[in-house]
Structure 1
Amino acid sequence: MRRVLLIGSGEVGAKHATALLSTEGMILVGVADPSPVVAPPAGVPTYARWETALEVLDPDVVVVATPPGTALRAARAAARRGASVLVEKPVTLDPAELSPVPVDQLIFVAFQPHFAPGVPQLLAETPAARRAEVRLVCRRDRSYYRSWRTRYATAGGILHQQAIHGVALALRLLPSSPVSSCTAQVYRVRRWAESEDRISATTLFDNGTVLTVDARVDSVDEPRCHELTLHLEDGRRLHVRGQNLEAGLGDPSAAPADLELRRAMYQALPTPDGEGPRHPSLFHLAQLGRTLEVIAHAYRTAHTAPQAGPAA
């Protein structure tokens, strides 16, 4: 039985707590958060400081579900104690902060949609691809933009918070290459936060591959989706579907629930000794650097597009 510490008890932390309590081979031994937004599960010890929780509990696994300003520091502290660590995206907004340190090999980023049907096999085989298209449609209401999410400097934009699951998956499947150019437009109408309501970006890489992203969080009428279309060199197209990619390459009507994907993600975490093969869907912290660099490039080159619409 692996002993798990959860750092962070907000909206996302609560989802992790629920999933961890029902994951075979895992036992939630503590929750650390100075001001829990969601009450930790009954009977689970709570700590105001994650440093104290690490010292007292000495967990085997640590799940970090805190804002970017804290996440990387907490994840690396847990890894230094020998724990296997799973940290929520975006971890940090600054790619430079991901300059590798030895403990990073124990840290993985929480992308449960990468465990969707067919996606592990796709990542293991990495077929030759020349273009990837990410599309995100959802709605985030005013209540979502509170505290740290209000400001771009602490939360980032749509590409950091919502579309990163698909962007990261696309970049894992496209051959790695430096960015040659990027064009992007952001749309701000509601102004509930410094982040945008929609972004459209096209990134070209030196090897000729292309990544396009169209992501919006202000939709009213469109069906919710977060999908990836991969254009292969042989002319085929692969579609990873779902409200959050959860259907993978399979039938959307038979897509696994978020809870099931989270359990698979936890159980794939290697032990600190690293014995056995790594699960292809695990997203190493080191791999996040390229994703954040591409996202940063898009926002650096983005122009604000005028758009009629209500201010609130």
Structure 2
Amino acid sequence: MSVRIAVAGTGNIARIHVEALRELGDRVTVVAGVDIDEARAREFCAAHGIPRAGADLPAVLAATRPDLVHVCTPPGAHLDAARAALAAGAHVLVEKPPTLTLREFDELAAAGPVATVFQHRFGGGVRRLRTAAFGRPLVAQCDTSWFRPQEYFDVPWRGNWHTEGGGPTMGHGIHQMDLLLAVLGEWTEVRAVARRQARRVATEDLSLALVEFANGAVASVVNSVLSPREESRLRFDFEWATVELTHLYGYGDDNWRVTPAPGHEAAVKAEWTGPDGPSGHRAQFAAVLDALEAGEPLPVTAAEARRTLSLVAAVYASAFTGRPVRPADVGPGSPFYDRMQGSGPPWEAP
């Protein structure tokens, strides 16, 4: 069976999606590309051999009847595109961040089956780590140290709360933060700072957080777009091993390093076994197809994506209120449930 796929949004991330889908061969058929700029949609579809292009998403979905819609619009348009896809009877795979707020996410999750693109979960190294028995997790580091010049933010929809939902905490570091949670599980408390340090933006360009977990582990988290030497880094110190991942926008098997504690060399070597392979969209898309064919929920599930989005909200809440934040503090009734910036960052004050 070939899964019929439509792509909503035809910018650069859509190109990455389609190229990854092509690598899956006859398991998929890309039937349509849709964009509010119809000329861009036509150009995109012609370049990728996609038969149907258009600007009216509901109309294109009704005409092509896809099984799955990949939502690749700018973040501020994710919610409407996903709703349209669900109304057409399709499953939905939405790029990160899935929505701009927790309130929007809960509304979307209640509307139907939606999965989020967090492709770094699907590399062999993370799948090994999630099953390895290295003892209790004790401390972790999660750094997204990237560089984006001012010109990057001069695109109208970038650097604004109402179109991106936040700065590097929301739009850049969310991938590493999602991996952190995939390994360590439920977070319980956050203390954070966020700054508009150097870029002319409405959002932050830097955040730092201390995160506590239900299993007793603690982690430091840095999200920056001010770092000329770019690096994405995760480090987990367990009782019997240190596991490190250093990469930039995607990792392979060579990006991992495992260091046993003295006396645990043989046990750690035996535990560090399992699947190989790089992270990337292709790996997640293959897992999505497997789930569709088996009639199972698509990865990454709404519950998993919400946990990551709630951590993002908690970083902002702690940074902007100056207080420790627990999961309930960003639930319904909190200003940070309705808007990632809550009542606004300090630099918006009169």
User: Highest CA radius of gyration, 1 or 2?
Assistant: 2
Counterpart check, 1:294 vs 2:311? yes
The match for 2:180 is 170
**Where does 1:75-86 land on structure 2 (aligned, <5 Å)?**
75-86=82-93
Q: Which amino acid aligns with 2:235?
A: T
Q: Which has the higher helix share?
A: 2
The match for 1:29 is 31
Match of 1:218 among 216, 226, 242: 226
> What per-residue deviation string (whole Å, max 9, x for no partner) do you get for residues 236-293 of structure 1?
221223112423xx2139x9677xx3222212114786626778xx311222212122
> What per-residue deviation string (whole Å, max 9, x for no partner) do you get for residues 131-171 of structure 1?
33111122223343212213123211101111111101111
Match of 1:227 among 219, 227, 233: 233
**Where does 1:89-104 land on structure 2 (aligned, <5 Å)?**
89-99=96-106, 101=109, 104=112
Q: TM-score, normalised by structure 2?
A: 0.73
> What per-residue deviation string (whole Å, max 9, x for no partner) do you get for residues 194-244 of structure 1?
233322221234653323211221222x2x221211222x24221223112
In structure 2, distance between residues paired with 1:82 and 1:126? 41
The match for 2:282 is 263
**Helix, strand or coil: the match of 2:294?**
coil
**Helix, strand or coil: the match of 1:138?**
strand
Equivalent pair of 1:227/1:245 in contact (CA under 8 Å):
no
Q: For the structure 1 residues 125 and 7, does the alpha-carbon distance in structure 2 shift closer, same or farther, using more than 3 Å as the test?
A: farther
Q: For the structure 1 residues 154 and 130, does the alpha-carbon distance in structure 2 shift closer, same or farther, using more than 3 Å as the test?
A: farther
Equivalent pair of 1:83/1:272 in contact (CA under 8 Å):
no
Q: For the structure 1 residues 9 and 148, does the alpha-carbon distance in structure 2 shift closer, same or farther, using more than 3 Å as the test?
A: same
Q: CA RMSD in A?
A: 2.9
Q: For the structure 1 residues 15 and 143, does the alpha-carbon distance in structure 2 shift closer, same or farther, using more than 3 Å as the test?
A: farther
The match for 1:140 is 148
The match for 1:40 is 44
Equivalent pair of 2:187/2:212 in contact (CA under 8 Å):
no
Q: Which consecutive unaligned segments of at least 5 residues does structure 2 have?
A: 257-275, 322-350
Q: TM-score, normalised by structure 1?
A: 0.81
**1:125 shift after superposition:** 5.7
Equivalent pair of 1:76/1:107 in contact (CA under 8 Å):
no
In structure 2, distance between residues paired with 1:177 and 1:31? 38
Equivalent pair of 1:93/1:292 in contact (CA under 8 Å):
no
**1:35 shift after superposition:** 1.8
Q: For the structure 1 residues 161 and 123, does the alpha-carbon distance in structure 2 shift closer, same or farther, using more than 3 Å as the test?
A: same
> What per-residue deviation string (whole Å, max 9, x for no partner) do you get for residues 74-130 of structure 1?
2243234443321100011211223274554x3211122222222123335686423
The match for 2:251 is 246
The number of residue pairs the alignment matches comes to: 291
**1:303 shift after superposition:** 6.2
**Where does 1:6-21 land on structure 2 (aligned, <5 Å)?**
6-21=7-22
* Matched-pair identity in %: 28
In structure 2, distance between residues paired with 1:265 and 1:126? 24
The match for 2:207 is 199
Q: Which amino acid aligns with 1:226?
A: S
In structure 2, distance between residues paired with 1:126 and 1:290? 24
In structure 2, distance between residues paired with 1:262 and 1:242? 16
The match for 1:56 is 63
The match for 1:310 is none
